[in-house]
């Protein structure tokens, strides 16, 4: 059986979980076994409706104490759930929570693991998983030969696939260890699309010259329905909050469209965005390294290009 971890935040299922479910369901079909989900905590979403992504059953540990993520507690509960379900493969999204718990669960289950997989395993001979290595510069093919296997999949590598159907939801009784952390307050930034869940991202660099010019980034993002981001020098200079910093040392994203404005394209930045489906670079320097990684490029002044682009998109929507 393939067991898929259904990640949630604020009692809502994350988009990355839907892709993990689609991936896990396809893998289960490939292996000729069932695809089942494991959910920790309570959600407001229709769980039976997740059957349209390929699940046959969802095991839910419906304890409100699990609505706040605690890596140590979640690792223990997921390990016990996997043993109870006799799972042969566990699938996680390769997001912040998945990165925290998938390796720990693998250790407890004595399972081989591949993190950041970008395609279904080749099961014709063995169980070989492909992933990117060296900041996306190469691919590695890794064979897992342990009885239990753990995979976390990169965002946007597989897509979300739907079909007709619903699934059963069953309560799972597992002893929950005492929490190692206590949430005393939650401060949420309203009105923003989370970078890790965004399909479209508009990002700015030092070419914007100062925080007072960020309006042209926000205007384009608003008309596109995109999240905003920035390069590390921008967040280090306090032009933008650090949670918007994308790159190797910041948030790593994989949207369908990434628009980079006034960003030279240092290797550390590229490492955090090179899994984007389409990259558009806008820079007045034709020798900017980012153009080598771009699918489309505009050589021009951002202060002229962005307002014109925003106006054109607005016109097309009118």
Fold annotation for 195-317: Rossmann fold (3.40.50)
pTM of the model: 0.87
- What distance lies between CA 84 and its chain's CA centroid? 28
Cα-Cα end-to-end distance for the chain: 49
How far apart (Å, rounded) are the C-alpha atoms in residues 177 and 12? 23
What is the reported pLDDT for 189? Answer: 67
The Cα–Cα gap between 184 and 309 comes to: 44
pLDDT at 273: 93
User: 268 and 232 in contact (C-beta within 8 Å)?
Assistant: yes
Of 123, 127, 121, 115, give the one whose Cα is nearest residue 153. 115
Instruction: Domain ranges for the chain, please list them.
Output: 2-171, 195-317
pLDDT of 231-289, one tens digit each? 999 999 999 999 999 998 899 898 999 999 999 998 889 989 988 999 999 999 999 99
CATH code assigned to 2-171: 3.40.50.620
Q: What is the pLDDT of residues 187-237, one digit of tens each?
A: 776 656 778 788 999 999 999 999 999 999 999 999 999 999 999 999 999
Give dist(CA 218, CA 154) in Å, integer.
Answer: 27
**Does pLDDT of 13 surpass 70?**
yes
Q: Find tokens 């409100």 and name the residue.
A: 64
2-6, strands of its sheet edge to edge: 138-143, 128-133, 112-117, 149-153, 89-93, 2-6, 35-40, 57-61, 168-171
**Helix axis angle, 215-224 to 302-317, nearest 10°:** 20
pLDDT at position 136: 74
Is 33 in contact with 56 (CB distance < 8 Å)?
A: no
What is the Cα–Cα distance from 125 to 110, expressed in whole angstroms?
22
Would you say the CATH fold of 195-317 matches that of 2-171?
A: yes
Residues 150-159 have pLDDT tens digits of 999 998 889 8
């Amino acid at each position: 059986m393939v067991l898929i971890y259904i990640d949630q935040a604020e009692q809502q299922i994350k988009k990355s979980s839907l892709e993990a479910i689609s991936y896990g369901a396809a893998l289960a079909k490939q292996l000729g076994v069932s695809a089942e989900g494991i959910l920790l905590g309570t959600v407001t979403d229709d769980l039976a409706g997740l059957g349209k992504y390929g699940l046959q059953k969802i095991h839910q540990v419906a304890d409100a104490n699990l609505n706040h993520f605690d890596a140590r507690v979640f690792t223990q509960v997921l390990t016990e759930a996997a043993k109870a379900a006799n799972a042969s493969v566990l699938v996680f999204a390769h997001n912040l929570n998945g990165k925290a718990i998938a390796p720990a669960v693998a250790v407890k289950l004595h399972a081989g693991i591949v993190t950041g997989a970008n395609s279904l395993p080749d099961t014709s001979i063995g169980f070989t998983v492909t992933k990117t290595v060296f900041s996306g510069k190469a691919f590695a093919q890794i064979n897992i030969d342990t009885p239990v296997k753990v995979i976390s999949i990169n965002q946007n590598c597989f897509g979300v696939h739907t079909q007709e159907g619903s699934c059963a939801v069953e309560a799972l009784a597992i002893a929950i260890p005492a929490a190692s952390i206590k949430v005393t307050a939650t401060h949420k930034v309203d009105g923003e699309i989370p970078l890790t869940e965004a399909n479209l991202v508009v990002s700015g660099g030092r070419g914007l010259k100062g925080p007072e010019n960020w309006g042209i980034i926000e205007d384009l993002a608003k008309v596109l329905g995109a999240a905003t981001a920035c390069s590390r020098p921008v967040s280090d200079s306090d032009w933008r909050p650090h949670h918007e910093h994308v790159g190797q040392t910041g948030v790593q994203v994989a949207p369908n469209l990434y628009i980079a404005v006034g960003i030279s394209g240092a290797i550390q930045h590229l490492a955090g965005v090179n899994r984007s489906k389409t990259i558009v670079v806008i820079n007045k320097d034709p020798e900017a390294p980012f153009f080598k990684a771009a699918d489309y490029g505009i050589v021009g002044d951002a202060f002229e290009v962005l307002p014109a682009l925003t106006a054109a998109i607005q016109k097309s929507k009118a």
